[in-house]
Structure 1
Amino acid sequence: MSHHPILWTFRRCPYAIRARLAIASAGVKVELREILLRDKPPAFLETSASATVPALRLADQVLDESRDIIVWALEQNDPHHLLNMPREGWDLIGENDGPFKSALDHTKYASRYPGVDPQIERGKAAAFLINLDAQLRGQTALYGNQTTVADLAIFPFVRQFANVDREWFDAQPWPSLIVWLDTFMQSEAFAHVMTKYARWSEGDAPTWFGG
């Protein structure tokens, strides 16, 4: 096995996007392995106990949660001081990953949840976003004018929600949130982590990412 960490990822997955953003910010070199979630290769399933992306294979352990991968990368190198965030930032990420993500899924994939009203779920998601907008008023990031892990970790999910119905999203009373989202989406960092890579196959030459 390569002595470099191996990152299993899927380009559009918001959890994988935020892990790639952290790795790219840290400048840590990893071997990137792009997979299809509907056709997971055996080598990936042998790595990830949860069978979900992202999964990072290190020499002595596997990190199977995106938050753990973010912290691992930034603890090695954090040139943009993303970890310089108040404790409540982690609580906000938890709210994003819990109630907001649930409401997002119920809105985006309504056909999978026949007993759930997608309009009610969209309202639940909107309540979280209204709070984000209030927090962003008068500043460029969630905690002042310095981007932190909270921005990096929450942005991909807000983007996914906005893409469900961007016309509706842009008509809502959250102007600061829209500016924040669009600034992220137009950034070089986001363009970099959304580069399209060929699907990984056994025996392929390594695809390097990050460093």
Structure 2
Amino acid sequence: MSPPILYSLRRCPYTMRARLAILLSKQTVILREIVLKNIPPQMLAVSKHARVPLLVFDDGTVIEESLDIMLWALAQNDPSDLLLSSQVDALPAMLALIDRNDNVFVPALERYKAAARYHDTAQEHYLDQCQPFISHLEQRLDEHHFLMGMTPSLVDYALLPFVRQFSRVNHRGYLQSPHKNVRRWMNSHYEQPIFSKAMTPCPLWLDNQDIVLFGGQ
């Protein structure tokens, strides 16, 4: 059986989630890097949504949600115990925080990013809509080094790409904000080699259709 195919867009935060989980779980996938302006017909044939990340298996199984790809990868192998398997209530708590990120913080973040891009005078208003979630993370990180304890977990890697985007909208303002714990947390991720591996560029698949293996041991 050949490895599953991961359709990927490197700078997409949802794809970053999937790539991080695949690396952390030491799974191997065939990476197909795409651009949204030229979606491969092979991708359209298996997913009407045509969104990344998209994980496609030999048997026709398709996983279309980034969090589900993370959970699949860690179910295969979780050498760093990112699922905190010994803590009964840990996974529901992590999933609840990820849900808050995806359904409350991310919509506010998208409005904040758009306002900054178009120099909208409402930029500060949308920043204020992002702040409660960032402040919540700051409080959690005041208690321990990572969001669930002293070691990274699923939720750290699931939220990282989006907090990274937030930090880059107005980087000077982010550096001057009182969220010192969030900055420490972000820097600790940036210092990990796995982050660089997840962000390493690779050729667009439609340009040459070469087989590019990603992840593994």
| Normalised TM-score (structure 1) | 0.93
Residue 5 of structure 1 contacts residue 57 of structure 1 at CA under 8 Å; is this kept in 2? yes
1:83 correspondence with 2:64: no
Question: Distance in 2 between the 1:33 and 1:147 partners?
Answer: 28
CA distance in 2, matches of 1:203, 1:171: 45
1:135 aligned to which of 131, 135, 140: 140
1:73 aligns with: 73
Partner of 1:123: 128
Alpha-carbon deviation of 1:196?
0.5
8 Å CA contact 1:47, 1:55 repeated in 2: no
Q: 1:39 to 1:110 in 2, by over 3 A?
A: farther
2:100 is the alignment partner of 1:95: yes
Measure the CA separation in 2 of the matches of 1:112 and 1:129: 21
Query: Is the 2:116–2:169 Cα contact (8 Å) retained in structure 1?
Result: no
Cross-structure match for 2:41: 42
Q: Secondary structure at the match of 1:38?
A: helix
Q: C-alpha displacement at 1:120, in angstroms?
A: 1.7
2:156 aligned residue (151, 166, 170): 151
Q: Distance in 1 between matches of 2:91 and 2:203?
A: 38
The aligned residue for residue 54 of structure 1 is: 53
Identify the residue that residue 31 of structure 1 maps to in structure 2: 30
Q: Contact (CA 8 Å) 2:29, 2:214: kept in 1 or not? A: yes
Alpha carbons 1:103, 1:121 under 8 Å: kept: yes
Percentage of identical aligned residues: 37
Structure 1 counterpart of 2:93, which letter? E
Higher helix proportion: 2
Deviation of 1:39 after TM superposition, in Å, equals 2.0
Q: Contact 1:29 / 1:209 at 8 angstroms: preserved in 2?
A: yes
Deviations along 1:11-31, one digit per CA (max 9) or x if unpaired, are: 000000011000001111100
Deviation of 1:115 (Å): 9.9
The corresponding residue for 2:113 is 108
Superposed displacement of residue 48, structure 1: 2.5
Distance 1:98 1:88 in 2: 15
Cα shift at 1:146? 1.6
List runs of 5+ in structure 2 lacking aligned partners. 85-89
> Which residue matches 2:206?
201
- Partner of 1:7, secondary structure, is strand
- 8 Å CA contact 1:56–1:63 kept in 2: the answer is yes
TM-score (norm 2): 0.91
For residues 26 and 86 of structure 1, what CA distance do their matches in structure 2 show? 17
Alignment partner of 1:188 out of 170, 185, 193: 193
Offset at residue 143 of structure 1 (A): 0.6
C-alpha deviation, 1:38, in angstroms: 2.2
SS of equivalent residue, structure 1 residue 78: coil
Give, as a single letter, the amino acid of the residue that structure 1 aligns with 2:2: H
**One-letter amino acid of the counterpart of residue 3, structure 2:** H
Query: Deviations along 1:147-196, whole A, 9 cap, x unmatched?
Result: 11100000100001111111101111111011001111221010011010
- 1:148-187 matched pairs, under 5 angstroms: 148-187=153-192
Alpha-carbon offset, residue 117 of structure 1 = 3.2
C-alpha distance in structure 1 between counterparts of 2:197 and 2:177, whole Å: 29
Segment drifting more, 78-87 vs 95-104: 78-87
RMSD value, Cα: 2.0
